[in-house]
Structure 1
Amino acid sequence: MSENILEVKELKKYFPIKAGVIQRVVGHVKAVDGISFNIKKGSTFGLVGESGCGKTTVGRTLLRLQENSGGKVVFDGKDVFGLSNKELRKIRPEMQLIFQDPYSSLSPRMPVGEIIGEGVREHNIVPKEEYREYVMSVMEKCGLQPHHIDRYPHEFSGGQRQRICIARAIALKPKVIVCDEPVSALDVSIQAQIINLLKDLQEEFGYSYLFISHDLSVVEHISDEVGVMYLGNLVEKAPKEELFANPKHPYTKALFSAIPVPDPTVKMNRIVLEGDIPSPANPPAGCKFHTRCKECMEICKTQAPVYKDYGNDHYVACHLYDQGK
């Protein structure tokens, strides 16, 4: 048996660009352009990068909420994109998603008990006579008052709504949960509560998380392994302790330099990236980051770097290390 619950191999997702009266395809937006990583059972893989780099598209594609343009996703030994609709429906409860916005992801017309229990009833997770008690027990596990089961989302705070979203996901007894920036819309104190709740649930039930975020301090707190994404590609991947102690890629270093330090006497050595992010519809030749990199060499402009292991399971795609730096 593999120790990996999820294996992503050269995953690609391109969106067509159409033009003209007949809507002819004239190009593609390369949102995800061949990324690979594994998530071990009961662990958390953090995926970080600035807005627009393709993090959310990775999460939605590996859940097969949208079809891939290439590559494979193997979940618990099954090729997700090779499954029929009937086979996919059987494993749907095992792969769940927590959305970024706890406001728009909950139907205002449904009580929270129905929101949490809709999938439970649809997939026959528990017998009908145990349904209500089961939903209330899930609410309690997520820090919600069970007697609020008949209330509507507008009667809850932002943090409570995100707990409802988490309850909806775990009610189906999943193996993998994609957390798409689950704390970015919350206050800092509430963020800590939600992160601790996710960690407690993982410890109790053995969930595996893909944790998508742009906040490196949150990722450091919850992740076991971290991947850094830029313009549809992974530029660096390593165990959390290794990555935070020894970032190698210039883009990763720039992200780390932007982490605020809560001490006004500490002088920050900010690495300011110049220029705009290139268009994923027309990415630059060679290394995609070379247009914003202060350490750019001639080879970076023409030849894409090889993504390889430089020791301690630390993968980097950068010509600097090919040159022995």
Structure 2
Amino acid sequence: MAPRDALLEIATLLERERASRYRSKAFRSAAAAIDGLDDAQLRSPALRSRPGIGDTSFTVITQALEGRVPDYLADLRARYAVEASSLRALLRGDLHSHSDWSDGLTPIEDMAAAAVALGHEYLALTDHSPRLRVANGLSPDRLRAQLPVVRACSTGSFTLLTGIEVDILEDGALDQEPELLGELDIVVASAHSKLRMERLPMTRRLVAAAADPNTDVLGHVTGRLVSGDRGTRPPSTFDPKPVFEACAAHGVAVEINSRPERQDPPDELVAIALEAGCVFSIDSDAHAPGQLSLIDHGAARAEHLGVPAERIVTTWSLSRLREWAARTR
């Protein structure tokens, strides 16, 4: 295989785990360092001293030039293989992703290119809102400046949707100007702070967010972490029935977050949301190009839990998705 393709695939696979972000960046840098080099230059001993080329990336390049899959790549392919689900083939897009405008690792253009490579018809770019300062959340002015950049990434067969992952404040209000939220294609509302609120106020908080006319998707509803480099975190405590009934009443999709460290909502809450009549959105919550493929996990989990494909908005065509997202705006 081509050495540059091998380096980029390694970076993509490493990005599936947040702990690998620095290693993945090193392989992307190596791929950029050899971009445009001819075969003679790639085989030259001088390549090893080229900026951006380390011992491991040099070995990958050498093995690729030998006409085989590099050992490091073969190991990663085996490690990150996910059993294919029939539901995965029905997914047309993803409504939750981040760029380096907030806490993602790469430019918007790289996220769009990765979505196209996966065969997506659409992707929503949903960087964080102002209150989440640790994630470099977007002020109203920064969000307005981002919108033309996002729109410029659409092509004839692919649409990058404008969006935001907006913080749900303690009283259930959304952390962005309502008029600005109304201009966006997709609004994912998620709680990122005060996750240990008492049961009743947390229930009221989530119900209020689901009832907001600008909310399209209720993101990682419990906020739990079950594994990963950030450690573990218990789920928020709330009464799921009124929360999911509010989602169903207002047409808000319950996110099935595909990140392995989240697995949110828990299985029992997916069952309650199904009974309440909710629709769902299988999302990657990607912070790097390689993480877009995490929807493999979400699709497999949704299929295992018996979520019907017709109730998953990310299986819908773009025109149907737009009609749904415009229902209350």
| Both structures adopt the same fold (TM-score exceeding 0.5) | no
Which structure exhibits the higher relative contact order, with contacts defined as CA atoms closer than 8 Å and separated by 6 or more residues? 1
Which structure features the higher share of helix residues?
A: 2
Which structure features the higher share of strand residues?
A: 1
